């Protein structure tokens, strides 16, 4: 069965510091991988996605993620965090031809001024 783990429930970083949010997945084939961000009162917004090809993918708002098949990981990174990045971040996995996305439990990011 598909599953997604995000080991960090809550992370706090200082503004300007670098960020890495971890995501590990369990899936029997090559999955589609996604990172979404959810701000309070807002819907989920797609940050980036990986389907195939280059394992380092660039997204919006300066985020990037790296797919590592050997580690079943898809970690999200940003070199310099802004206060507006404070939000909940969700990693998700989906089959290439299905609709049934599986989301991780999320990591809440707090940013210190």
Partner 1 sequence: DTGVSQNPRHKITKRGQNVTFRCDPISEHNRLYWYRQTLGQGPEFLTYFQNEAQLEKSRLLSDRFSAERPKGSFSTLEIQRTEQGDSAMYLCASSLAAHYNEQFFGPGTRLTVL
- Answer for which of 11, 27, 32, 72 binds partner 1 (CB under 8 A) is 32
Q: Are 93 and 5 in contact (CB under 8 A)?
A: no
d(CA 62, CA 108): 18
- Answer for which of 17, 46, 60, 112 binds partner 1 (CB under 8 A) is 46
Assign 101 to helix, strand or coil: coil
Q: Are 58 and 48 in contact (CB under 8 A)?
A: yes
- Answer for which of 48, 67, 81, 94 binds partner 1 (CB under 8 A) is 94
Footprint of partner 1 on this chain (CB under 8 A)?
4, 9, 32, 34, 36, 41-46, 49, 51, 90, 92, 94, 99-106
């Amino acid at each position: 069965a598909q599953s997604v783990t995000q080991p960090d429930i809550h992370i706090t970083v200082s503004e300007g510091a670098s960020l890495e949010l971890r995501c590990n997945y369990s899936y029997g084939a090559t999955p589609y991988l996604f990172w979404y961000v959810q701000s309070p009162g807002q819907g989920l917004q797609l940050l980036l996605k990986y389907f195939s090809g280059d394992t380092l993918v660039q997204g919006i708002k300066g985020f990037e993620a790296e797919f590592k098949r050997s580690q079943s990981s898809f970690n999200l990174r940003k070199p310099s965090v802004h206060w507006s990045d404070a939000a909940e971040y969700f990693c998700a996995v989906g089959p290439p031809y299905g609709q049934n996305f599986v989301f991780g439990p999320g990591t809440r990011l707090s940013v210190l001024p």
